[in-house]
């Protein structure tokens, strides 16, 4: 597949023709359409117009000019070599083909081609010839050496006119001069013998052809392929204004009414338009062009970097590491957004925040509007902006990330949320609130991100919502699990919870459902109509190896709860924290990074032990990077097999083995094996086990008829409905330990299901 069947140098300007075997493209391709070519495994996606189709060979012709690394690689390939991919046909076929038979019979066409635009004109002229439509062609170039396809074009058109700037071949002058000559009467007035003009070439040529034909009254079609980037509609970098509407070249085009195209705007969107050629030529060969998206990135500035505390300084305090964007940075970053027609960032957000809209508001410096847009879908924006794994969700799907760095969506969300907190008078008090006074009561078990989100959404719908929290502070994992240096409690978490209270949500702390009262009590005694279980997964897991009960072997949950919830690091608090000088943290997730960085701030020398490679770590890349900056050591492909006793019941060391990575398992993750004879001992004073958590069995053991998974999680359908009518569940209590945003997404989903359940309940 994608074998090069033919290769030909067309002129001295490094313009090549290639015939490539591509059955699917050859089967369905039409004049005016294009393909995406990937020359090699590490190559970029290059949109190229189909130049000709050979059904008998199951192949297509493409023409390109050497302008960057990928086209340079193409030029070095030979007949018999294979492209990595050719995707297509893409875009819309020429609108001339869509005309009715009667309309086609009445046609007389004038094609105007400039530079490498000669190539995509050819298949349309060839089609017109096959349909018996009278067709004239004007070809323009700076000089004779830049011409190609002359003989091919003569065989399929009625008249071919060649114009060169220097008069070295054909007639001297611009293509517009020939159009005037062909469309003028002897008295100098215009009278076009043509029904349509099709112009393809450099933007300036198409602009002036369109201006002229508008005066003549000749309908003109132009191809805006020069705006193309990815070709699939994801990025939005190929936007062009046509009349009063913004179109996407790759989806709505590439052909448009030349009399309606805003060529000046298009020129501004392209860097150095005077030096550019048609898309398959793209730019002057002497430029440093890589691809159109690189140009778009360059003209929209590089990704802004929030200021951070110095690593050496922050490793000794619990102040927030990231200082966030300044106003100027936020606006600059927002203006990098391409506003894709199909924004994948929204579909990849578990709570479906309207990301393009809030970013647009930031770009316009309307921060109040941005805050209201976010508030429609997120109860905890200041939290999510700080701890969400954006790199694998919204930012991970940002098209800018394919060629450069994605939009800093998380940092922008944080900026907006912080701005709203600091400017409460600038925003509506309770965005999205709807007091329908139905007053049905809903109980929420747990005040973590899932419970808070569900409570907020239900309160906005007018339900009387009460949250039952087992701890003395609401917030769940937000207050006991995530360190202050990542998520400040008083500055960030408490204000977010206060927003819920303003919605009318009641929060009862120190209530352990399953002990203080049961789910049946909530229905029968307390009068609740529905219950949502968002109790999280706070039960720590251990390794089950010898020595795990020694003094000094602790769970990450314990260390973090003592530090975060109980402020054990603060000498004014009574909660003690005992850590030795040499601390080993076992695990590779975010909790392991939080524990390691916390231990470092408490004065210990910290080493993270992880049985896989660094690339396999589930922790956020940012957290790993910060940990390394702060002086934390990493020992990969290492696994503990025993904790060593000092003879007094204290841990004094750890026996480990080296691991080797193998083939991938059914889930796509590489297996690992122990390397024989690789045992070695490490001297340590404290071990922090950060291997995940599971749901507390208290609720399932006190709620008859509530089905659970074998590993302890509650069974619930896609809407959060459990086996008990009126009882819903979501977040870590159902999935096991996951992320804050996924828990929030589950809370939103359940809130909708609860509303539907209570609305239809008789």
Rounded to an integer, the average pLDDT of 503-519 is 91
What's the sign of the alpha-carbon dihedral 293, 298, 301, 302? positive
DSSP, collapsed to helix, strand or coil, labels residue 468 as strand
Rounded to an integer, the average pLDDT of 300-307 is 82
**Omega cis (within 30) before 254:** yes
pLDDT band at 229 (very low <50, low <70, confident <90, very high): low
Q: Is the confidence at residue 353, as pLDDT, over 70?
A: yes
Q: Is the confidence at residue 569, as pLDDT, over 50?
A: yes
Q: Could you read off the pLDDT of 40-49 as tens digits, one per residue? A: 776 666 788 8
Asked whether 388 and 414 are in contact (CB, 8 A), the reply is: no
pLDDT at 471: 87
**pTM of the shown model:** 0.62
By mean pLDDT, which of 14-18, 338-342, 356-360 is the weakest? 338-342
pLDDT at 319: 94
List the beta bridge partners of residue 336: none
By mean pLDDT, which of 89-98, 155-164, 350-359, 552-561 is the weakest? 89-98
The whole-angstrom separation of Cα 468 and Cα 718 is: 24
Q: Is the confidence at residue 102, as pLDDT, over 70?
A: yes
Q: How many CB atoms lie within 10 A of CB 24?
A: 14
Q: Is the confidence at residue 294, as pLDDT, over 50?
A: no
Per DSSP, the chain holds a count of helices (H) and strands (E) of 28, 33
Q: Could you read off the pLDDT of 316-337 as tens digits, one per residue? A: 999 999 999 999 999 999 999 9
Nearest to 534 by CA among 346, 336, 732, 381: 732
Q: How many CA atoms lie within 13 A of 676 on its CB side?
A: 0
Phi first, then psi, for residue 266 (nearest 5°) are -60, -40
pLDDT at 276: 29
pLDDT band at 422 (very low <50, low <70, confident <90, very high): very high
By mean pLDDT, which of 291-305, 508-522, 632-646 is the weakest? 291-305
What's the sign of the alpha-carbon dihedral 338, 342, 343, 344? negative
pLDDT at 231: 53
Phi first, then psi, for residue 161 (nearest 5°) are -115, 125
The whole-angstrom separation of Cα 329 and Cα 407 is: 12
Rounded to an integer, the average pLDDT of 404-413 is 94
């Amino acid at each position: 597949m994608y074998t090069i069947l033919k290769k030909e140098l067309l002129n001295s300007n490094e313009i090549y023709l290639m015939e490539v075997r591509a059955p699917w493209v050859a089967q369905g391709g039409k004049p005016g359409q294009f393909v995406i070519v990937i020359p090699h495994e590490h190559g970029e996606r290059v949109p190229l117009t189909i130049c000709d189709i050979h059904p008998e060979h199951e192949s297509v012709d493409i023409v390109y000019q050497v302008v960057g690394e990928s086209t340079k690689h193409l030029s070095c390939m030979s007949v018999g070599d294979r492209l990595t991919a050719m995707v297509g046909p893409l875009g819309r076929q020429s609108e001339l083909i869509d005309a009715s038979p009667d309309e086609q019979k009445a046609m007389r066409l004038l094609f105007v081609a400039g530079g490498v635009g000669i190539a995509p004109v050819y298949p349309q002229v060839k089609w017109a010839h096959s349909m018996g439509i009278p067709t004239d062609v004007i070809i323009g170039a700076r000089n004779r050496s830049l011409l190609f396809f002359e003989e091919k074009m003569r065989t399929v058109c009625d008249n071919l006119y060649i114009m060169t700037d220097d008069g070295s071949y054909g007639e001297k002058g611009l293509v517009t001069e020939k159009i005037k000559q062909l469309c003028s009467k002897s008295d100098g007035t215009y009278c076009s013998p043509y029904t349509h003009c099709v112009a393809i070439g450099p933007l300036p040529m198409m602009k002036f052809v369109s201006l002229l034909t508008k005066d003549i009254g000749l309908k003109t079609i132009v191809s805006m392929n020069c705006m193309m980037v990815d070709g699939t509609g994801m990025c939005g970098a190929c936007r062009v204004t046509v009349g009063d509407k913004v179109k996407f070249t790759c989806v709505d085009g590439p052909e448009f009414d030349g009399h309606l195209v805003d060529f000046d705007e298009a020129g501004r969107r392209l860097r150095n338009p005077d030096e550019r050629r048609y898309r398959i030529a793209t730019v002057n060969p002497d430029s440093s062009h890589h691809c159109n998206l690189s140009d778009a990135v360059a003209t929209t500035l590089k990704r802004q970097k929030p200021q951070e505390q110095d690593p050496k300084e922050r490793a000794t305090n619990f102040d927030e590491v990231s200082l966030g964007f300044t106003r100027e940075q936020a606006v600059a970053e927002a203006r990098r957004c391409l506003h894709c027609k199909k924004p994948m960032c929204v579909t990849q957000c578990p709570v479906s925040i309207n990301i393009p809209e809030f970013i647009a508001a930031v770009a316009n410096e309307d921060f109040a509007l941005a805050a209201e847009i976010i508030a429609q879908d997120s109860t905890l924006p200041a939290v999510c902006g700080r701890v969400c794994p954006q790199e694998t969700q919204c930012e991970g799907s940002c098209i800018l990330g394919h060629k450069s760095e994605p939009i800093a969506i998380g940092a922008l969300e944080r900026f907006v949320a912080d701005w709203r907190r600091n400017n409460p008078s600038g925003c509506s008090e309770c965005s999205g609130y709807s007091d329908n006074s139905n007053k049905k009561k809903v109980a929420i078990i747990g005040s973590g991100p899932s419970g808070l989100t569900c409570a907020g959404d239900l309160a906005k719908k007018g339900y009387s919502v009460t949250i039952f929290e087992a701890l003395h502070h609401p917030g769940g994992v937000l207050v006991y699990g995530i360190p202050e240096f990542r998520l400040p409690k008083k500055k960030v978490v408490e204000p977010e919870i206060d927003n819920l209270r303003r919605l009318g949500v009641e929060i009862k702390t120190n209530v352990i459902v399953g002990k203080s009262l049961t789910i049946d009590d909530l229905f029968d005694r307390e009068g609740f109509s529905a219950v949502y279980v968002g109790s999280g997964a706070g039960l720590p897991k251990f390794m089950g190896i010898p020595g795990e009960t020694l003094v000094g072997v602790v769970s990450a949950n314990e260390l973090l709860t003592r530090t975060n919830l109980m402020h054990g690091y603060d000498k004014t608090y009574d909660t003690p924290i005992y850590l030795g000088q040499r601390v080993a943290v076992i695990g590779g997730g975010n909790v392991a990074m939080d524990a390691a960085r916390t231990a470092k701030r408490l004065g210990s020398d910290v080493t993270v032990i992880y049985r896989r490679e660094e690339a396999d770590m589930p922790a956020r890349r940012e957290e790993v990077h910060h940990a390394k900056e702060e002086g934390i050591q990493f020992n990969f492909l290492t696994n503990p097999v025993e904790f060593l006793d000092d003879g007094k019941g204290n841990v004094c060391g750890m026996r480990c083995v080296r691991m080797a990575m193998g083939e991938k398992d059914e889930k796509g993750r590489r297996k690992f094996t122990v390397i024989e004879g690789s045992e070695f001992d490490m001297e340590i004073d404290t071990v922090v086990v950060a291997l995940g958590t599971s749901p507390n069995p208290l609720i399932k053991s006190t709620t008859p008829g509530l089905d659970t998974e074998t590993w302890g999680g509650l069974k619930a359908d896609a809407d959060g409905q459990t086996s008990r009518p009126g009882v819903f569940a979501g977040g870590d209590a159902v999935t096991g330990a996951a992320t804050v945003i996924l828990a929030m997404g589950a809370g939103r989903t359940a809130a909708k299901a609860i509303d539907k359940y209570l609305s239809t309940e008789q």
